[in-house]
Chain A
Amino acid sequence: MNYIPNIVFALVLLCGILFFSRNVKKLYRNIKLGKDVDVSDNEPLRWRNMVNIALGQSKMVVRPIAGLLHIVVYVGFIIINIEVLEIVIDGLFGTHRVFAFLGSAYNILIASFEILALLVIVSVILFWVRRNIIRLQRFVKPEMKGWPKNDGNLILYIELVLMVLFLTMNAADYQLQLLDAEGYTKAGSFPVSGYFSMLFNGASASSLILVERTAWWLHIVGILFFLNYLYYSKHLHILLAFPNTYYGKVTPQGKFKNLESVTKEVKLMMDPSADPFAAPAEDAPPPEKFGASDVQDLNWVQLLNAYSCTECGRCTSECPANLTGKKLSPRKIMMDTRDRLEEVGKNLDVNKGNFIDDGKQLLGDYISHEELWACTSCNACVEACPISIDPLSIIMDMRQYLVMEQSAAPSDLNNMMGNIENNGAPWPFNQMDRLNWAKEE
């Protein structure tokens, strides 16, 4: 017996898996560059969110057309991947359609794979049309030029090719079964590929085998390629959407976290027994930096958010600032964060795990002041995101850095804050006049 195909297959599979785990490690390391944050609360709610939002796609269907198409592709991919299991076993052990013993259940399985494959093809084509022919607003914003645009299309092409290969493989297989070819177990029902297997009418068994084998190999190699493409792509969301919805915000959207380091200082200031001139203790840690100017200042959930973002632009298409032509785009905030995080990660890679200052940071080099100050903190982006990403929290952390570390607020805001400090109101009115309205006519 000839074991070469089995060995080649095992090697290809091993390479694919090794490369993938290398990327997963990198991903994990990069996300962990973020600050720690306590997410041990509300466990039942978190699980529910994950089940509803990621598994159940509850937020996708807010937009019915995109939502429906997405569910088709999502369900299609998950279910068709059962087939991958069979392919792997067949590949490793030299069997053919190893699950065929399931009998009629197998027929149903293969038939549903085929129907789903067809639906996926249709959906993918419609997705492509929306991006490239209809050119929906949210897919042609400035941050979608270059790689993000190509990435979006490339994913669609890969999915299309994988589905076509799957159906071609089945079509040839079906013909071979009809020809009683050796090794081609009579199994499966082929409601879709059965149709265009007519194309193979009259083809010889040997050329059919060539087609079937080629499609089979390309299909599995394609899947391994796709798996490893994820790390470089917005398509990472197919994995990260799950943890991301689990770790997403579980408090009211309007609740912004209170900075603990500030609380300590404020308490000290308000404490009449504290000596304001006391020298800090010898072993006191250096004062914590307020807010965020680079990715390491964000917490790891925010960095996970960045890797999970699928660049769909639902956030941006509901952002009041973006809708009125301001530079701010919440999607770009997430994309910038990921790009910078990748840059920092590469820096670590080449410097053996040490970060060598590259003179760049997220603030300024990626995200401008103008973008940050345009936000109304309205939470429309947070509400719109189908996988619980919170671009607003990053904007707020960066504003904190600008104001508390750099005193770099727009002058109007400095006036406002000065007023609050001096009179307890954002306008220059005396606090003693606060009740005057009650006496006015």
Chain B
Amino acid sequence: MGNELKVPTMAELFASGQQPEVLFWVGCAGSFDDRAKKITKAFIKILNKANVSFAVLGTEESCSGDPAKRAGNEFLFQMQAVTNIEVMNAYEVKKIVTTCPHCFNTLKNEYPELGGDYQVVHHTQFINQLLEDGKISLNGGSYKGKKITYHDPCYLGRANNVYEAPRDLIKKLDAELVEMKNCRSKGLCCGAGGAQMFKEPEKGEQDINVKRTEEAIEVKPDIVAAGCPFCNTMMTDGVKAKEKESSIAVLDIAELIANAEDL
């Protein structure tokens, strides 16, 4: 019973006359990608543990349109945006939390002009707030002595200047945070953004994710922490390509926290 996830949907709550405080925007990766689904669940565990009043859109959620827009299909992007905005406005959504920096960026920056004005936060910011409000606590003992390096997702870092929230969480885990030579505003892309995730790379000497993984390996981490499902995939593949999967784990910050608390 204790392990059962509580995942209310907006439709359910609405039917019973309730209005959650925050909408958890799961995103396509978080909904369908096997690796990313684990991140979604880890975050749900945290939300449940902290008794957060939240809901998901479930089958009413649709792609935010980010990959379409970055691929150049403005038309498809706006169709997606307008559809999603209609749904969210009908539920009178005010605040959104998401585990995907691409959705985060699009919802936060590109939806307002199209009629969707919400307060949008990334899950690392949200978890920090939960800690601050005392809704959850961290002992962090399980990461003592572990070296964690954090890979900045472009759409969280450079795109929106969120550099500290994820790092604050890692520091609270009692782990040793080691920085790669290119970090924060100089962080190297994992190679997935701009719709690259969905196509073969152009001809070149190396794959971008392998290059980024090499930078991570240089600082000899036990864990590569990420805050984006796409970065996670890219870095996981990079670690495999470098045959380091036995010594380096790639984990989302939500997973780090959920594991630490043994949720």
Contacts and interface: CB of A to CB of B under 8 A. Distances in A.
B63 A325 contact: no
A425 B114 CA distance: 20
A325 B205 contact: yes
Interface in A372-390: 373-380, 382-383
26 contacts: A252-B105, A255-B105, A259-B78, A262-B78, A269-B79, A291-B72, A320-B191, A323-B211, A324-B204, A326-B204, A328-B202, A370-B203, A374-B201, A376-B154, A376-B193, A379-B154, A399-B70, A400-B72, A401-B72, A409-B73, A413-B71, A416-B195, A420-B67, A433-B32, A435-B58, A438-B7
B194 A376 contact: yes
A320 B56 CA distance: 35
A255 B104 CA distance: 11
Q: Which of B196, B202, B204 has the most CB of A within 10 A?
A: B202
Nearest to A395: B194
Interface of B: 5, 7, 9, 26, 28, 30-33, 37, 40-41, 44, 56, 58-59, 61-63, 65, 67-76, 78-80, 82, 86, 105, 108-110, 113-114, 154-155, 158-161, 185-186, 188-189, 191-208, 211-212
A402 B72 contact: yes
Contact of B188 (A254, A262, A270, A380): A380
A358 interface: no
Contact of B32 (A265, A398, A425): A425
Contact of B198 (A265, A266, A370, A413): A413
A262 B73 CA distance: 10
Contact of B68 (A258, A323, A325, A420): A420
A38 interface: no
Contact of B63 (A254, A413, A425): A425
Top 8 A-B pairs, shortest CB-CB distance:
A254-B159, A325-B205, A399-B72, A377-B194, A424-B62, A255-B109, A378-B189, A325-B204
A263 interface: yes
Contacts of B32: 425, 427, 429, 433-434, 437
Nearest to A375: B194
A258 B154 contact: no
A373 B203 CA distance: 11
Nearest to A384: B186
Contacts of A432: 59
Contacts of A256: 69-70, 110
Interface in A306-353: 318, 320-321, 323-328
A384 to B, nearest CB: 8
A8 interface: no
Contacts of A254: 105, 109, 154-155, 158-160
Contact of B202 (A370, A420, A424): A370
B194 A440 contact: no
Interface residues of A, number: 67
A421 to B, nearest CB: 6
A409 B71 contact: yes
A426 interface: yes
B172 to A, nearest CB: 26
Given A326-B203, A376-B189, A420-B76, A435 B9 contact: yes
A415 B68 CA distance: 11
Contacts of B192: 376
A427 B33 CA distance: 9
A378 B193 contact: yes
Interface string A229-271: 0000000000000000000000111111011001101110110
A251 B109 contact: yes
A437 B41 contact: yes
Contacts of B200: 410, 412
